[in-house]
């Protein structure tokens, strides 16, 4: 087979962020920078790395980014008070509460406390409903990033059989909704699916978001399939890898995302896109 198309999320996201930077400059003419508030609870090292990356990318693009760090034992009521204050803050166009949250915090209650027009993560039930109904709302950043990446490379999913591995409300379910809207035929595999590998082998496009390192091997993938790896894991030596066994799968794939440098940068780029869009909708132009 020919060499697979390497779906370079780092390069594509850089182009998207340059466009958003220009939009931020246009907003600045009207006296305001798009504002993003990021709330992090506890001291999970990976979460703090993600937040630092989001802040750095946002500020380079022209956003005002405020990070609110709360202790792991913070009362849920105190966290909700902060969200209420951010909801009312005109400087803040988007609010993101970094997951995971400590066990004593009800993540759904926190999500629903964010006003829908500042829910740039796209997790509020209203925005999730708009996604499934084909209405206007904020789309979760990772699935939106996957679609933008496929679109950049001219990989239409219309008429294709797409298999989504994983059914989380963060990736799997909204990914399925976006693929259906793009005219794909969609199968979602999950922990109760009988023989996920056999289902996956039928796919024209595989979206791996199951959270198991190297689970998707060449035995799972039909030659010529498009493979998108949403997973990210750290090996003992500190290097990163995904849910897909890249070295084994790449030789038989039509196109494949690397880890790192694939979906990850696109996720952050779409967070910036959502925040700038929220600022525009707030009447900044």
Per-residue DSSP letter, 282: I
By the 8 A CB rule, do 182 and 146 touch?
no
Give CA–CA dist 146/260, Å, rounded: 14
Residue 30 has a pLDDT of: 85
> Hey, CA dihedral for 250, 256, 262, 267, is it positive or negative?
negative
First to last CA, the chain: 50
Q: Between helices 263-279 and 9-29, what is the axis angle to 10°?
A: 20
Considering 54, 119, 173, 243, which one is annotated as catalytic?
Answer: 54
Residue 1 has a pLDDT of: 59
- Taking CA atoms, 197 is separated from 8, 121, 211, in Å, by 26, 31, 15
Residue 32 has a pLDDT of: 84
Judge whether 173 counts as a catalytic residue. Answer: no
According to CATH, the topology of domain 140-264 is Rossmann fold (3.40.50)
Judge whether 219 counts as a catalytic residue. Answer: no
Residue 2 has a pLDDT of: 77
Give CA–CA dist 149/42, Å, rounded: 32
Which residue, among 88, 45, 98, 89, has the nearest Cα to 67 in the 3D structure?
98
- Which regions of the chain carry the CATH code 3.40.50.720? 140-264
Q: pLDDT by residue for the chain (285 residues), tens digit each?
A: 579 999 999 999 999 999 999 999 999 998 889 999 999 999 988 899 999 999 999 999 999 999 999 999 999 999 999 999 999 999 999 999 999 999 999 999 999 999 999 999 999 999 999 999 999 999 999 999 999 999 999 999 999 999 999 999 999 999 999 999 999 999 999 999 999 999 999 999 999 999 999 999 999 999 999 999 999 999 999 999 999 999 999 999 999 999 999 999 999 999 999 999 999 998 644
CATH 1.10.260.40 fits 31-115, yes or no: no
Considering 20, 118, 119, 121, which one is annotated as catalytic?
Answer: 121
pTM of the model as a whole: 0.96
The neighbouring-strand residues paired with 233 are: 241
240-241 and 233-234: which strand pairing?
antiparallel
Tokens of 197: 């590998």
Considering 20, 98, 119, 229, which one is annotated as catalytic?
Answer: 98
Give CA–CA dist 239/62, Å, rounded: 30
By the 8 A CB rule, do 222 and 201 touch?
yes
- Which regions of the chain carry the CATH code 3.40.50.10860? 31-115
Judge whether 98 counts as a catalytic residue. Answer: yes
Which residue, among 114, 65, 121, has the nearest Cα to 87 in the 3D structure?
114
């Amino acid at each position: 087979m020919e060499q697979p198309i390497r779906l370079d999320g780092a390069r594509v996201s850089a182009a998207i962020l340059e466009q958003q930077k220009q939009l931020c400059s246009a907003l600045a003419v009207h006296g305001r920078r798009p504002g993003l508030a990021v709330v992090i609870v506890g001291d999970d090292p990976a979460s703090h790395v993600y937040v630092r990356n989001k802040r750095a990318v946002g500020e380079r693009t022209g956003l005002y980014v405020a990070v609110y760090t709360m202790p792991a034992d913070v009362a849920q009521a105190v966290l909700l008070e902060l969200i209420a204050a951010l909801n009312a803050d005109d400087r803040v166009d988007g609010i993101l509460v970094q997951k995971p949250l400590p066990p004593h915090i009800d993540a759904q209650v926190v999500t629903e406390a964010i006003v829908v027009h500042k829910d740039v993560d796209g997790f509020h039930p209203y925005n999730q409903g708009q996604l499934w109904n084909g209405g206007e709302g904020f789309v979760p950043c990772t699935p939106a990033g996957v679609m933008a990446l496929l679109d950049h490379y001219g990989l239409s999913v219309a008429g294709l059989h797409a298999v989504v591995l994983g059914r989380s409300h963060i990736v799997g379910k909204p990914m399925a909704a976006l693929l259906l809207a793009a005219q794909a035929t969609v199968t979602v595999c999950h922990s109760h699916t009988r023989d996920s590998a056999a289902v996956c082998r039928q796919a024209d496009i595989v979206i791996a978001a199951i959270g198991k390192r190297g689970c998707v091997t060449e035995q799972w993938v039909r030659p010529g399939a498009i493979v998108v790896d949403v997973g990210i894991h750290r090996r003992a030596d500190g290097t990163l890898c995904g849910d897909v066994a890249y070295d084994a799968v790449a030789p038989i794939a039509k196109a494949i995302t690397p880890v790192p440098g694939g979906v990850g940068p696109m996720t952050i780029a779409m967070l910036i896109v959502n925040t700038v869009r929220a600022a525009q909708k707030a009447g900044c132009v």
